[in-house]
Amino acid sequence: MPALAESVSDLARSAGVRACLDWFRKERGWINEQHLKLCRIPAPTFLETKRAEYMAERFRSLGWESKLDRAGNVIAKLAGRREGPCVAVTAHLDTVLAPRIPEDIKVGDDGRFLGPGVSDNGAGLAGLLAIAAAWTAQPPLEDPALAPVLVANVGEEGEGNLCGMRYLCRPGAADRYRAFLVLDGPSTDHITCQALASRRFEVTFTGPGGHSWSDHGSGNPVHALSRAITRFIDEAPVPENNGEPRCSYNFGVIEGGTSINAIPSEARAKVDLRSESPRRMDQLAALLESAMQRTLDNENARASGGRLSARMKEIGSRPGGGLRAGSPVLETLLAVDAYVGIRASLDCSSTDANIPLSLGLPAVSIGAGGQGGGAHTPAEWFSPEGRELGLRRILLALCLLLGESA
């Protein structure tokens, strides 16, 4: 990659790029302010509209044409951008947890941002705004027709099932994009270039219900669900450094019952299954179905009253995929990392990049800079220390990829 390394060095020394990179240093305060403001707007999955409208307004104030598409994604472009397949920089709008009041998002005594979504994905969205602002304040490329498309998309988390990215890559629209840089979280120590497949199911047991004393002996959906989960966990394979493809499972939601002295009429759970191997994914799904059916049979055999029924419904599926060997997107990013001093590992994970990768479109998911932790918990935090390194990395990679189409 000597030629590519030289290209990175030449690019970084050019006047426009130098000025743009320096903008990130000069405007640290502005970037931090935008980060906190957008995180104070609740955006749980399927309810991202207010945050989307805020992002669209901010893009417009920075000189970008922006609109919400039919899925709710915010699409921002510069006027005069060259027609044809573009490089898209994306970050998801939604969060697993949301602030109840703006004051839930605050700055700690140590300078860390605290609150739901400040890391995942406040870091990525702030990165989008920083790129947009720097690009118009100090255009890095001489040709104004060369510019990325910036996307703040919906539906990445939970049962969103990557709906925003699916809409971007829908049949007939996917050919608008030449490559995707997905900004997800802050960390710069990894490059996600392999898409981890996942399947989500809702499993439900139902029965007639009744009184805890007078109807004792009737099938109890909560008891059945508990036994089915235990049976699945006891039998599920979890390879540990034995050469087998990794897999995982997580029962993230369990619901059922209305009163301590009433036999529930329904109990349900939502489970997330993941694997690097389609074969093992199918095995996990089959085992879950088998555990439910065997539990149902056992519970009905022992019941002296009302019988139970069960169903298993797939509520989400994320396809797998991966970059082909020698992909220009990955080679470019690795060359930039070598130049700026980042030592990132290649990993397999489940992100918005799953959709383009599954379709054979070049895509990577990377952090937007800074440090963070506690994602998907009330103790989530983000530190802006080191954010500039991540932003410089994004800009340099973006300019190289855009230059290829010049």
| Consecutive 10-residue averages of pLDDT for the chain (406 residues) | 84 95 97 98 98 98 97 94 86 97 97 98 98 96 89 97 97 93 97 96 97 95 98 85 80 97 98 92 96 98 94 96 92 96 96 97 98 96 97 97 74
Among 49, 69, 67, 47, which Cα is nearest to 57's?
A: 67
Q: For residue 183, what are its two tokens? A: 């900004």
What SS3 state is found at 270?
strand
Residue 266: enclosing H or E segment and its boundaries? strand 266-275
Residue 80 has a pLDDT of 76
Phi, psi at 103, each rounded to 5°: -70, -10
**What's the helix, strand, coil split of the chain in %, to 5?**
40, 25, 35
Contact 291, 228 (CB under 8 A): yes
Round the CA-based radius of gyration of the chain to a whole number and report it. Answer: 24
Question: Left if phi > 0, otherwise alpha if psi is -120 to 50, otherwise beta: which for 162?
Answer: left
CA triple 151-346-170, angle to 5 deg: 35
The two tokens of residue 86 are 């573009």
Residue 349 vs residues 20, 61, 366: alpha-carbon distances, Å: 31, 34, 11
Global pTM value: 0.92
Distances (CA, A) of 354 to 333, 362, 369: 18, 10, 21
Give the DSSP letter of residue 245. Answer: P
β-pairing, 74-77 vs 309-318, is unpaired
pLDDT at 6: 87
Structural domains in the chain, CATH included, are 2-196+320-403 (3.40.630.10), 198-318 (3.30.70.360)
- The amino acid at residue 23 is W
Q: How many helices (H) and strands (E) does the chain have?
A: 11, 19
C-alpha pair distances (Å), 261 with each of 34, 264, 306, 348: 51, 9, 17, 47
User: For position 405, what pLDDT does the model report?
Assistant: 55
